Structure 1
Amino acid sequence: MEDFWVEELRPKPLSGDGEHWIVRLEKRDMTTDQLAHQLAKRVGISRGDVGYAGLKDRQGVTLQDFSLHLPGKELPKGWQEGLPAGVVVRDIGRDRRKIKPGMLSGNAFTIRLRGCGVALAEEERAQSVRLIADEINQFGVPNFFGPQRFGRDGDNVAEGLKQLRRGRKGRRGDRHKRGILLSAVRSDLFNRLLAARMQEGLFKQLLPGDVAQLAGRTGAFLVEDFESEHTRFEAKEIHPSGPLFGSHMLLPEGRAGEMERSLMEQESETIELLEKNGMKGARRALRLFPSDFGQQWEGSDLILTFTLPRGCYATSVVREFLK
């Protein structure tokens, strides 16, 4: 079994007809964007006519859908034969819509942690995992953006800042790449706010004045009736949120507001540049609850299975088992 396996989950069944061929591919040793370019070449369309829901890096095995815009046409004969090594076609269908970023319900993971139980007896291993799983079920895990958000060498933030400072001049060229770089800048700011909240021992709490989100939703609201909202917080119906800086973003009050304003003062130039470059403010939940959680031992290897909502990172869950 591979050490890392992720499968994108479709938000709904394919329509069975339409202008877009949907190919479900298993890939290894290749990023999503690299494979999209290869598909465009193989079927004779522009890169812009290839769609996908989420960016996956080259590590491990990924199962995900790509849409190919071929109105009134069949897939070219022999198109599969030239696909790169490590790419396998698992399913082909049709749909009326192009797959766009975010068009998935989540990701299902299977991850092998090799040798993490080598120093423990069998009973100790089982007890350790149970305790961690119980902690996750009660409090969730920190919803950090994962390292792949920041590039292979971690330089996306620095490159994103260069793009921001160039302003309109920096908008020439690859818009897709520019979007990734700018997103890395504000993802880094979000991670810093979340880390600061954890350092103060406030991660497991809802605070008066927090900006909260309904579970699974993007809309945000100010926590004013603390008692009633705290009940919903404990029931996992709402989550405190952190900033994705940009224009027209709702800000918290109280202690949560003080922490965000402190970060805004430290990074005032960057946040101003994000707004000037057209980034719209948004909020992201600070905590994350995996679903369909399972675990088993194979010798000293721990195998984890779980499902996460779109935009969330498996590293947030794995980190809890490697502390």
Structure 2
Amino acid sequence: MTFVDRSTTFYDLPVFVFPGPDHEDLPAADAVAWRLDCYAADELPFDELWEGFTAKVPTERVRALVLGPWWEDEYTDLRPALELILADAARFPALRALFLAHVTGEECEISWLQLTDVTPALEAFPLLEEFTVRGGDSQGLGAEPLSLRPVRHEALRVLRFESGGLPGQVVRALGECELPALEHLELWLGVQQYGGDATVPDLAPVLAGGRFPALRHLGLQDSELQDEIAAAVASAPVVAQLESLSLSMGTLTDTGAEALLGGQPLGHLKRLDLRHHFLSDAMTDRLRTALGAAGTELDLSDRQIPHRWREEEWRYVAVSE
């Protein structure tokens, strides 16, 4: 499955597509999350679109930026567009949220989005509170892969990596980051075929707890290792500090759910998200009984049926290519 939606809000602001420098009647600079999209802006090259945006909109008041398709004709990698944004970082003192590659499957498959080292974005905007990165795989495309370096960031509260194949290097670097304000962490791990080579041991620093003392939501999602992840989560110290947990979008079966039920108590969670799963009716009933009694909101929607080919069953994640 390749569907990835286009968010209509970001940082609790409505997403507004910048129509190009020749248009009038723009909203107040701090009232929207500005989406830059070369297709929507008369197919301007990104450097011209960026120049027009920074000339037309009071950049000192912009609170959120959303980068849509940064190519107007032939697809290009992210680095040149990101470098333009970072070169003007000083002009955005109010920026608190940044979304890189706000792109749908119709515009570009998530695994084709050629990204880069995104650490400079965190370094250039030390007051950033929300950071989302979509994409990650560039295997065989000759582009620089998505990467991250260990970094300390005092302000970041929300971090999302949305990928059909999140590189293990990113997960390992995240485990070395110091993010004392981080409350919400969401990782779409994806599948190995599209570069998702992170292992359960790679998640150990996050699962150990203490690395991110303010963390209240953890999402380890969209993984073909969802059962193994569930087993690790069942005894992970970090769970005690969480208010919500998501193991959704992956290949969760009764094996992983059994590990959750047999592990540490989960009744303190306000919400447990297991949507897009491969659980039996009997197991969903057991989960509802165990967690419903504790008042935990449980999402068991979007049940999947394995594909059968010859004597084998094939299970699939929600977002891969």
Give the TM-score normalised by structure 1.
0.28
Structure holding more helix per residue: 1
Structure holding more strand per residue: 1
Of structures 1 and 2, the larger Rg is shown by 1
Whose RCO is larger (CA < 8 A, sep 6+)?
1
